[in-house]
Structure 1
Amino acid sequence: MITLDDFDTFPDFPVEGILFYDISPILASPERFREACIQLMPPAGAQVDVVAGVDARGFIFAPVVAQTLGVGMTMVRKKGKMPGVDLLESSASIEYGSTDLTVSAGPIEGRHVLVIDDVLATGGTARAVAEMLTRGGAASVRFSFLMELAGLDGRAALEGFEVTSAVVV
């Protein structure tokens, strides 16, 4: 079971007032990494057709979860990092700034999507992803996070979507 002790913390990173939770110790241990991927899996019986990994640390876990489930994976990228003409776009306000996101519309329409990211904080990024996937015609969208910062109330931004978190702080 992944716990808070499995993360390193760095105060005032990337900006003053932010406590950064580093996943490097989890990645450095095959056992912890395997356990993290298990904890990111959807509940038994949940329908998942494609896993969406969110730039950048969601990319680390999403392919393993997708392969375990026997489904494909798509990437939610920062704007300007993904080629193609059939892209969905959205803007996200996050706890220390904003970002623009894109995802390829192709693997989304009519599919049940599991979104994987490392941290749920204010919910800005996740809400932008949910909006894009819904607009792209996803049959359903559910989220799985390695860590949730409950004090920032990101879960409220995802009202109406199923959300699971391995560790809640």
Structure 2
Amino acid sequence: MPASETLPEPAPPEEPQLSSFIRTIPDFPVPGIQFRDVTTLFQDARAFRRAVDGLSAPFADRGLEVIAAMDARGFILGGAMAYALGLPFVPIRKKGKLPGTTLMESYTLEYGEASVEIHEDAFAAGARVLLIDDLIATGGTAIAGVRLIERLGGELVAAGFVVDLPDLGGRRKLEAMGVETHVLMAFDGE
């Protein structure tokens, strides 16, 4: 080969699909549930960054003022997104975990009932809020989060999730409420 010729750079290896980082655990927490575990995605730094970037990108120029996220895995994503977008972070926690005066919303899960709370001074009325969680299944948790944001006078811009379980209908419920919903991947089944 003449000295003036160079070989082309090798193409970078193709990134694996984000869905390959999600572990499925059968019969957890109760028989019949196929639990989609995002903690295995969090354990891979590149996959975690891709998930945070994928959830953040659609909202970079949407005038967001607050990232609110659902207890507990939603905190991991929401906190990273708030940092990446330079926004405040507001936790929506399980009942009894917040120390200040709170508003509470109860809901049903695919395998039980629960309540979540938000500090009543979490953000100013009219704040443009993005709601984040790791997964949407039946929609109970997300709908409770939406209701709390609305009760505080927030303007819900959208909701974002890493995983959608479309067979359980949660995303359809949110969209029927007029909530713009973004997901990074979907898995069939429960």
Q: Shorter-chain-normalised TM-score: which range?
A: over 0.9
Larger radius of gyration: 2
Instruction: Give the % identical residues.
Output: 38
TM-superposed deviation, 1:89:
0.9
Partner of 1:46: 62
2:185 is the alignment partner of 1:167: yes
From the superposition, tell whether residues 107 and 42 of structure 1 become closer, same or farther in structure 2 (CA, over 3 Å).
Answer: farther
Instruction: In structure 1, list runs of 5 or more residues that go unmatched.
Output: none
Aligned residue number for residue 73 of structure 2:
57
**Alignment deviations for residues 69-113 of structure 1 (CA, whole Å, 9 cap, x no partner):** 11100100001011112x121001111111110011223321111
Q: Which residue of 1 aligns with 2:119?
A: 104
Higher strand share: 1
TM-score by length of 1: 0.94
Q: Alignment RMSD, CA only? A: 1.4
Q: TM-score, normalised by structure 2?
A: 0.84
- In 2, Cα distance between equivalents of 1:55 and 1:115: 11
Q: 5+ residue gaps in structure 2?
A: 1-14
Q: Supply the AA of the counterpart residue of 1:5.
A: S
Tell me the distance in 2 between the aligned counterparts of 1:27 and 1:155.
Answer: 23
2-side partners of 1:95 and 1:11: how far apart?
15
CA distance in 2, matches of 1:42, 1:74: 19
Q: Which has the higher contact order (CA 8 A, sep 6+)?
A: 1
Q: Secondary structure at the residue paired with 2:97?
A: coil
Deviates more, 1:7-16 or 1:21-30: 21-30
Task: Tell me how far 1:42 sits from its aligned partner.
Answer: 5.0
1:79 to 80, 92, 95: 95
1-structure distance, mates of 2:118, 2:69: 10
Instruction: Name 2:30's counterpart in structure 1.
Output: 15
Aligned length: 168
Q: Which consecutive segments of 4 or more residues in structure 1 shift more than 3 A?
A: none
Instruction: State the 1:142 CA deviation.
Output: 1.4
Give the aligned partner of residue 27 of structure 1.
42
